Structure 1
Amino acid sequence: MIGQTLDGRYAIRSRIARGGMAMVYLANDLRLERRVAVKVMHEHLAEDDNFTRRFEQEARSAARLSHPNLVNVFDQGHDLGRTYLVMEYLPSITLRELLKQQKSLTAEQSMEIGEAVLAGLAAAHRAGIVHRDLKPENVMLADDGRIKLGDFGLARAVSANTTTGQALLGTIAYLSPELVTRGVADARSDVYAFGIMLYEMLTGEQPFTGEQPMQIAYQHAHSEVPAPSLRSTEASPELDQLVLWTTQREPEQRPLDAGEALDFLSAVRRGEPGENATRVLPSDLGGTPTPSTTVLDRVQQEALAAGSAFTDGGSFAGTAEQTPAADPPVPAGPIELAAASAAKRRRRGVWAALIVAVLVVVAGGIGWWFGQGPGSKVAVPGVAGQDLAAAESLINEQQLVPEVFECSSLEIPAGKAVRTEPGEGTRLDRGATVRVCKSTGPRQLAVPTIVGLAQPKAQELIGSQGFTFGKVIEERFSDQQKGTVLAALDADGNGLGETYSEKGRIDLIVSAGGFPDVTGSSPEQAASKLREAGLEHAPEHNTEAYSDTVKKGSVIGIVPLSETVRVGDTVGLQISLGPELFDIPDVAGKPLQEAMNILSGAGFKPSTLVPDALRDFAKATGTDPGAGKRAPKGAEIRVKSTISL
């Protein structure tokens, strides 16, 4: 799909992710000039009406929702034989990727992410939408700090919550008991999945695991989720209660929806007293365990397995069938007793000496192996900012194997080492592979359309697209509205191409609006208007011209001294000479019609009192105004004449 354009609008640029139903691409919206994420259903699934229906259902479900913590859906369509969905592009990592990096999260991180997820989920529940696939893979952690919930591919209206006759939907590790046993899901099923996810954030592991999916599903249906504080010191009593409340096996004992769970978590984050914060919990949560849930420690379990029993006080006692072991025979006389004792001591001494010798050898071998031998670990050296060859040499000196890959960097010049994976100081076995990042310089980002935008909008767009706004280097007079961007330039003053370096500086040239209207003004008035517009008037650059519409001495217009006029430049004025005057030709003695034609050719409007029928018998005797006088073009000239019959 890369390089193709869907519906003549969405130009596919690169692949972002692959899922079970679809592939997600980064694309440019050519109509609105923005980056979007396009989710394209796999071609082999597009032929299945059920999959297509579910895919279109995601678009409808998500389009009904508008919330800061939900991924926005912009468009949906079918082109090139593919069904696709257009969504908000969010540079981010998923919660799953964060958990892989950190193993588990702090209480504050867990509550911040949990509150955002519940806020988005509550908006969906208020709109009558059940997500049904809540899991860390669907929680987006944006680079700018936003937290959003996405992927409504399994979402359905609350009124249509049964899945009878279908395979269980959602990831098995987060399925609620009612989905496992009855195939029914509602808002409380999403709340259960959230509780499992909160447990995983706090502890770094899921509460139920198994080799087969059905083993995990069975535990969801028949076991209680343990308190996270048993596995993590980050879990407070309030967070324990929230996990236990949201993961109750009976839906009636959970919060009604995400909104109720959000109220509780928000109260905990605000630090309200636990007594007030936990009033919403069912009364049967948080009490002491019933006798039926008593847990035997390992010693007791082993004792039971061996056939032993416990007294009422909890102490261990043998079973009734056990009988004391018979005492070993003792030599009857003192000589035999002494000999036996000495032999026993000798045997103990020999065994002790052998054991000590073996332990010394083993300890020495282990110490050598892990201290200086092949089994010893070495620290990954720091290579940031060094030449790639020097970085590889440092890694080789530690008896590690360098492997080069490329990555972008804002600080490190292209061609130099940026970092290592694992990071500096990590201790590894000798011979282990260390990946070295070779800088390709800053990332090359797509340049949005800036020309034609108002200056504040352009500055905001520059920052949001990953660039740095420099300054307005010039204001030019143009036919564009004042403040409109006329050009966007890079740090060297050149025009921008299709891509530009991340955080690169962008300067702007903006419009100062049109020239002030000075036509018909006096030169003094025109000069004042020019100063108000930021221009300087230079009288030595004034010109004069005839004008039929502007009276003599008034200003016809502005005389720019260059093709581009900037704020602060100097201009002249064009002063009117009034209408241009022309000499009236002498037509005396000429036939009347010829005289009138001469006057017309000179640009005047001739007239006569002689009727048309008699003009061939008339001669011109003069004009009014007279010959030699001056008049503007188009002026009426009366032709005097006599008639000879």
Structure 2
Amino acid sequence: MDTTLQDPLVGQVLDGRYRVDARIAVGGMATVYRALDTRLDRVVALKVMHPSLAADAAFVERFIREAKSVARLAHTNVVGVFDQGTDGGYVFLAMEYVAGCTLRDVLRERGALQPRAALDILEPMLAALGAAHRAGFVHRDVKPENVLIGDDGRVKVADFGLARPVDAATGTDTQSIMGTVSYLAPEQIEHGSADTRADVYACGVVLYEMLTGAKPHDGGTPAQILFQHLHEDVPPPSAVAPGLAPGLDGLVARAAAREPERRPPDAVELLGVVRAARAALTDAELDRVPPGARDGERDRSEDRTTVIARPPAAGAGPGHQADAPGRTSRLERPPAPPAGPAGAGWRDRLRRRRLLALIAAVLVALGVGAGVWYISAGQFTKVPGVIGLPQAEAERKLDGEGLDAEIVREFSDVVPKGKVIETDPGVGERIRNTGTVTLRISQGPPRTEVPNVVGMPLTEAKAKIKDAGLTVGKVTRRFSDETPAGRVLATDPGAGTERRPDSAVALTVSKGEPIDVPDVIGDPGADAESDLHEAGFKVEFAEERVFSEQDAGAVAEQSPAEGEQAARGDTITLTLSKGPRMIEVPDVEGDDVDDAQEELEALGFEVHVDRPLLFPGKTVTDQSVDAGEKAPEGSEITLKVKGVL
């Protein structure tokens, strides 16, 4: 029964653009549909979030934010994200539609894969993950279900940056939980942390499964599988598939080490390890059919007829038309006729004629077969593996196969400068043995030159820097006798320097010729403002006034202060006075003169002591401001002391 007929979304048009044609798959976070983009007339995969998650505003916000980030991952082995939108209660992504199958489908159909096929799938997986890792993304959910294999044999990784642990509200069943926990790194289970090395671990588990046809940890419940990840190493594949090369055991052991620090730090490093390990394997080791392969893929050498299946191109799977298996028959010479009576000679001659006729027929058949072979396959070869090789070495390898090379250069954040990013046709694809292979050679990370903006107004300089693909960094200002205010004096780095796109360029901008700030302390506010305007400054008055020795309404403070330098047009801040603070004078008559002086000075008064020349006493006999009266802060109070006879 077709369950898509019961899906309410099938037949609807979302966002006035995407016509939902059929349901493809249902996951813990979303349902995936095949849809038609009616504006661009192209088939897309529409990933629609489950309603229970779409009701969570925080989850939706993160979903949208990460979708926008992942959309910038333009890589041939990454499933592209075209659009994101909402329609009523539906939140969705429009993604590249890959016609083909998943790696899970291939493993279910074929069981274990030959090492060559497994590595042909693993390498583009790592190239995609490497691009994500260098861009700051961690996949978090690498598994065969997220590895798509197109009908053209190209391998693509889906769900970058979108996979997240989902709670019970998502409706994820036990089987799907078990399918995910089989690839979780120990640190994800124990601490909930997931960096690039968690993806590396998952790739090691996937490689083990491709080589053996089974998962390394296969308990009866998710809890048992989690326990095995934490406490048991991933076993060597040769323990399950005897005869596999030791180099493959070492590759799995390094990628799937329980301790994160023992793994390669990211997928780029692991890709280099994989290529080095592959180079050390012989063709016989690469093409060995493991015991876990389905019937018809084993080399039945014990039979009189040996069936040899050509290794599939990278990503070949169900729905991909592979080359038909070539069959090699072992023919034996007919036994020599037994000796007999002379009368049997005519029988011997008859047998010899029949044998000669049979041999002639076989030779004719072989000749016809050779012609058919040349027409269908003999004039073709396969593109050799040159990805990651230096340009000169890749050209030599193509020349050895009789192929020409056409060079196209492009930037790459992942592949080092001068090495092959990819080929067209792809590695392993069929091509005429006199054909031309396009080599895409890395120029290293993209670079752009810092433009010359010295002397430009700041706004114009900022626009030119942004047009060059760079960002404006810190802007500092300093005085200049020669460059007008507001124009750029210098950049850091300097003009002509190569930098990666989005790098910051710091600017130094002229404040113009410096001017000495005049002293306006004590001037009435209006007079001070007028004087500063004439000097070329702007004036701003502080909201609050302060008590000071200056008269009320006069300038009590200024910033910058007198003698400091400022640029023409700079703002001088003035603070006006409330006048002096009035303080109540205490009664100090009869007090010790030293104590009285200390008390009055603590209140902010200036104190003068009037003492007799001869035999001065120590007791205050009079004070110039009577006790209880108020006097301005800072004013002088005189204390009298009588002499002692």
TM over 0.5: no
Higher gyration radius (CA)? 1
TM-score scaled by length of structure 1: 0.39
The one of the two structures with greater contact order (alpha-carbon pairs below 8 A, sep at least 6) is: 2
